[in-house]
Structure 1
């Protein structure tokens, strides 16, 4: 079955298109791509909470080790933004993240991020895709047993949580948050933000309650997507227990949903408009604004108010990443 990279990597149904053999082929293609570019620095390897994520990570690490590439393997499921941060912090050659994000439980995915930490640009994914499908026709992958790779120092297990949260504290005014003493309901949706979002909010003095915060590859029978249709139980609890705000994240914690007092759901597009106004009006950030064709034109209205240029891209953050890389 052909390996095809979409806007956020390669995704397929577990045991159908997404198999250990295909994972090994795809990882070999990534290794070949990195070696052809003479990249150094190793690979950060992480995953979300889906079925077989740990085993897929180990299979990928074996192939990277076979190609002489060191891996920094996250010891637990890890949010996508944390993996990106760790790539930059370690000056790694990139990262491989086993995640299908907000897709249903039967899906798994592989996302490659290059050294800059964001999603791989189209020319990179096209090269990896071509190499992988050529290998699938009869090529071979190089492999070292996982325990042997650890013994050789080609696999190092890491926990990036503390470094990430410490860095976050340098970028957010937690004193302002502490002064509010907000009563917050956090919903990781059985995903990777467990022990991240709830932990740091408690640390700064918020009254935090958490729901759906244990490991469940079935995601409670729902899609792990923080949309209004998938968090009705959270909306009901917001009303019943009088929370000030509700914060939900998807399976790999790179999407969010926000609820106001009484359980009113705010569309992410609405939040983006408010965020842009804050970053320019309060924080004084400059530069242009990039949004995909699917993103609200509220962003354009806020940008016009602040005299900021707007750049429109196709759907997929990798296209915005391409703009950033050209800046």
Structure 2
């Protein structure tokens, strides 16, 4: 029996190993039992991403839900996580389910839970579902007749993608972006957001916007090392003003400027706050994950905004967004949500805000970043993922807990914060952070400094110290 445990954002496992029909049925059984406790007329919205056998796994889950008398709304074809979150709220469902492994490598499948408010199911509720997952399920539970369920209107097909595209049209000045003269590009990384921008911007340069369940062997995470084709395309073209990239389920954003330089999430968050407050007159609290730059707190102080730091995992941000007046919630990983939309990470939505900012201001991305630097100061950031043994990873974490690291090379540790992982503050407003991933077998090392050369020196010094080189 495989232990099924929900991590930072859902359950992830290797397809054909632990991610199997049998285990999907088990998780679906736990979900069904939980939903039945919430309502006398329970409903679920479900969709799957672009990964291998998504339809099969979705139909497996649907059969379990139907066995329990639950009404199911399903997306016919792959959809993004924001589409399912939006659909869960729209149809008043008790829960939303997205079969996705998000940014994980192609060999992974996953199962995310969404709340009726249109964002991640909150941690205490996720634990309740997890506690209801049985060790085994009977074959009878998968005997539901899907065609009959459709005829009986217990299984209803919904077009979540069109609903999402319509929301984008209603929320943004698409014509202003089209008529701005900006040359834009979009890299879907073969993910489930690949069809959204085609009808809105038919002239836009599109990369990896076709169905490829193997993702050409590349983990669909929109970070610089995974976007070399997009970077090369921008540099070869020489006239792309900005390029957006989204991950496997389109809830994370990656961004490039005109020169082909990757713009990290810290800069994106700062740009979004700057636009929404200075240019649009919006207000509200800012909530960011522990791995985000201290520059965000500095920006909030400049604009008189409350700022709160939370543990990593968007579910920790979503709970605050539904209870308080939040302008923006964001993570270092590219998951960002803003006021006026569902409390959910959404890569395409964030990209549209940036493009609208450029179009409305008439300024280049570089000029807008300079405006941000005038407030918080210039900085660069980079993250390194160490693929090491579990034994060594635990040894490093133990060393962190026991304050074993007084310096990393020439960089002396001035203070440490431990909200979620270990953030070591170094001289000259630099910092390095160490944290094990909640979804992958890696140790993440994050660093910030005044320029990229310094960032990479810090990362190398940290890696050498951790691995005792």
Report the CA distance between 1:326 and its aligned residue: 3.1
User: CA–CA distance in 2 between the matches of 1:66 and 1:218?
Assistant: 32
Consecutive aligned runs of 4 or more in structure 1 exceeding 6 Å deviation: 138-141
Which moved further from structure 2: 243-252 or 159-168?
A: 159-168
The match for 1:105 is 106
Find the structure with the greater CA-based Rg: 2
Q: Relative CO higher for 1 or 2, CA cutoff 8 Å, sep ≥ 6?
A: 1
Name the SS for the 1:71 alignment partner: strand
Per-residue CA deviations over 1:39-89 (Å, capped at 9, x if unaligned) read 646211111100111111111111111111111111111111111111112
User: CA–CA distance in 2 between the matches of 1:154 and 1:47?
Assistant: 19
User: CA–CA distance in 1 between the matches of 2:47 and 2:293?
Assistant: 31
The match for 1:294 is 291
User: CA–CA distance in 2 between the matches of 1:30 and 1:138?
Assistant: 13
User: CA–CA distance in 2 between the matches of 1:18 and 1:279?
Assistant: 41
CA contact (8 A) 1:40 1:92 kept: no
CA contact (8 A) 1:41 1:91 kept: no
Report the CA distance between 1:141 and its aligned residue: 7.3
The match for 1:155 is 155
The match for 1:308 is 305
User: CA–CA distance in 2 between the matches of 1:22 and 1:82?
Assistant: 25
User: CA–CA distance in 2 between the matches of 1:121 and 1:39?
Assistant: 22
Q: Give the alignment partner of residue 230 of structure 1, picking from 219, 223, 226.
A: 226
Aligned length: 321
State the TM-score, normalized to the length of structure 1: 0.93
Report the CA distance between 1:276 and its aligned residue: 1.0
User: CA–CA distance in 1 between the matches of 2:193 and 2:136?
Assistant: 39
User: CA–CA distance in 2 between the matches of 1:282 and 1:25?
Assistant: 49
Per-residue CA deviations over 1:3-53 (Å, capped at 9, x if unaligned) read 100111111111111111111111111111111122646211111100111
The match for 1:115 is 116
How is 1:120-199 mapped onto 2 (pairs within 5 angstroms)?
A: 120-132=121-133, 135-136=134-135, 142-143=141-142, 144-199=144-199
State the TM-score, normalized to the length of structure 2: 0.66
The match for 2:213 is 217
Change (3 A) 1:113 1:141: farther
CA contact (8 A) 1:76 1:159 kept: no
CA RMSD of aligned residues (A): 1.7
Per-residue CA deviations over 1:220-243 (Å, capped at 9, x if unaligned) read 121101110001111111111122
Change (3 A) 1:309 1:185: same
Change (3 A) 1:118 1:141: farther
User: CA–CA distance in 2 between the matches of 1:104 and 1:227?
Assistant: 13
User: CA–CA distance in 2 between the matches of 1:5 and 1:22?
Assistant: 13
1:275 aligns with 2:272: yes
CA contact (8 A) 1:39 1:93 kept: no
Name the SS for the 1:300 alignment partner: helix
User: CA–CA distance in 1 between the matches of 2:224 and 2:288?
Assistant: 22
Name the SS for the 1:199 alignment partner: coil
Gaps of 5+ in 1: none
User: CA–CA distance in 2 between the matches of 1:220 and 1:227?
Assistant: 16
Per-residue CA deviations over 1:247-268 (Å, capped at 9, x if unaligned) read 1111100111111112111011
User: CA–CA distance in 2 between the matches of 1:43 and 1:49?
Assistant: 20
CA contact (8 A) 2:35 2:42 kept: no
Gaps of 5+ in 2: 325-469
Report the CA distance between 1:147 and its aligned residue: 2.5
1:247 aligns with 2:260: no
Change (3 A) 1:169 1:138: closer
Change (3 A) 1:138 1:168: closer
Name the SS for the 2:204 alignment partner: strand
How is 1:307-326 mapped onto 2 (pairs within 5 angstroms)?
A: 307-326=304-323
The match for 2:253 is 256
CA contact (8 A) 2:35 2:43 kept: no
User: CA–CA distance in 2 between the matches of 1:140 and 1:311?
Assistant: 48
Report the CA distance between 1:303 and its aligned residue: 0.7
User: CA–CA distance in 1 between the matches of 2:88 and 2:140?
Assistant: 25
